[in-house]
Amino acid sequence: MKQLVRIFGLVVIVAILMMVLTFSLNKSEGYSGGNTLTIYNWGDYVDPDLLKKFEKESGMKVIYQTFDSNEAMMTKIEQGGTTFDIAVPSDYAISKMREENLLIPLDKAKLPNMKYLNLRFMDLSFDPENTYSMPYFWGTLGIIYNKKIVKDIPFTSWNDLWRPELRNQILLIDGAREVMGLGLNSLGYSLNSTDEAQLQKALAKLKKNDAECKSDCWG
């Protein structure tokens, strides 16, 4: 029994020492909770030099991490371990995160400049009244190609991506919604379709392409 007590006491002491050491290291680097901003963003969205400039002007320290898909981002946040002050998900991901209680409401008293944001991007269905999010970037999905390499292909629709001569020559964004959307659009359906029959047809078309390639046709 005395041996167990000694072991337990040793574990507690080691845990306390680790906490003190971690706190000391963080403090020496400027990371001490109140002056630290932990951000989770898409890769290549922010210039590292801009972060350094922000740290210099604000006195804050930035812990900056990146992800390459909404699904990877949500998985990491769901698992816990790191508390992010700011995350930059896409619209549909915000809706999912809200439903799963992964977000906290914004303190709009601290966001005086929100009045200058374009109303077109405010109060949207995935976050009514912008309770949890503010618009950051806006964009659309398209096809980028080098005319010198594919000069004989006009690229007038998503269906052009299924051309046999482009096999193994295409790279796609790592986003389930985007890929499913182009599949739907290539069949003439809305990329926001929720019709089960249409979704299954789009999925079948994407799978057919993959099966015919017998490899990663999309690059």
For every residue of 46-105, DSSP letters joined together read S-HHHHHHHHHHH--EEEEEEESSHHHHHHHHHH-SS--SEE---HHHHHHHHHTT----
Same domain, 22 and 84: yes
In a domain, 148, yes or no: no
Same domain, 103 and 188: no
Same domain, 124 and 23: yes
Same domain, 166 and 100: no
What's the pLDDT score for residue 39?
93
Same domain, 24 and 99: yes
In a domain, 76, yes or no: yes
In a domain, 64, yes or no: yes
In a domain, 2, yes or no: no
Contact by Cβ (8 Å): 77, 104: no
Same domain, 117 and 188: no
Same domain, 123 and 17: yes
Provide the residue range defining the domain that includes 57: 13-130
Same domain, 21 and 95: yes
Same domain, 77 and 182: no
In a domain, 55, yes or no: yes
In a domain, 141, yes or no: no
In a domain, 58, yes or no: yes
Question: In 3D, which of 155, 162, 168 has the Cα closest to residue 217?
Answer: 168
Give dist(CA 8, CA 162) in Å, integer.
Answer: 64
The domain boundary, picked from 83, 115, 130, lies at 130
In a domain, 88, yes or no: yes
pLDDT by residue for the chain (219 residues), tens digit each? 556 556 555 555 655 555 544 445 444 444 445 688 999 999 888 999 999 999 999 999 999 999 988 889 999 999 887 789 999 998 889 999 999 999 999 999 999 999 999 999 999 999 999 999 999 888 788 888 888 888 888 888 888 888 888 888 888 877 778 888 889 999 999 988 889 999 999 999 988 755 554 444 443
**What is the total count of domains within the chain?**
2
